[in-house]
Amino acid sequence: MPTVSRTVLIVGGGIAGLTTAHGLAESAASGDSPIQCTLVEAAPRLGGKILTEQVGGFVIEGGPDSFLSQKPWGMELCRRLGLADRVIGTNQDRRKTYVYAKKRLEPLPEGLALGVPTRLGPFLRSGLLSWKGKLRLGAELVIPRRRERGDESLGAFFRRRLGNEALE
């Protein structure tokens, strides 16, 4: 029986598109079946929102600067791409994240897990949100479910559930 060649068009050269192209190339190389893969990207460079630059000896991240290394597939992809030796782990002595807000760097409060406060004290003492913003964020617990059907953007969802200040 003849092997059927597959043709795939990947739209977008961000992390999802590049990972898809790499996975298809691995699949084709393993002999599963021939794959003709074309990736198209509107921007002048690949990578999407991910951008890393070296400026004056510092690493500057313009976009996502990390991934959860507890999730095995992220590190596995790094190994398959030959990048595992370039992964920089968190320095536990300097494990602090800052957000530029109100024209200054504001530390994220301790106990923040993927942006969700898990410890009330550090969150309340944080200067990241005003008291009004903190109260609005806390009101999320009593906000009823959206009644309208249909799609809702992430921005609209977070604004509705958490308030403008938390969204920004």
Task: Specify the pLDDT at position 94.
Answer: 67
Task: Specify the pLDDT at position 24.
Answer: 92
Please report which helix (H) or strand (E) contains residue 6, including its range.
Answer: strand 6-11
74: CB partners within 8 A, 6+ apart: 67, 68
Tens digit of pLDDT at every position of the chain (168 positions): 567 788 999 999 998 999 999 999 998 888 767 888 999 999 999 999 888 888 999 888 877 766 766 678 888 988 999 988 988 777 667 667 788 877 888 888 888 776 677 888 888 898 888 999 889 988 888 988 888 888 989 889 889 988 898 888
DSSP 3-state of 53: strand
- Considering the entire predicted model, what is its pTM? 0.54
Beta strands, E only, 108-153: 112-113, 116-117
DSSP 3-state of 55: strand
Task: Specify the pLDDT at position 95.
Answer: 67
Task: Specify the pLDDT at position 63.
Answer: 76
Task: Specify the pLDDT at position 86.
Answer: 85
DSSP 3-state of 78: helix
DSSP 3-state of 126: coil
Q: In angstroms, rounded to a whole number, what is the distance separating the alpha carbons of residues 129 and 142?
A: 20
Q: In angstroms, rounded to a whole number, what is the distance separating the alpha carbons of residues 82 and 63?
A: 22
Nearest to 116 by CA among 96, 140, 95: 140
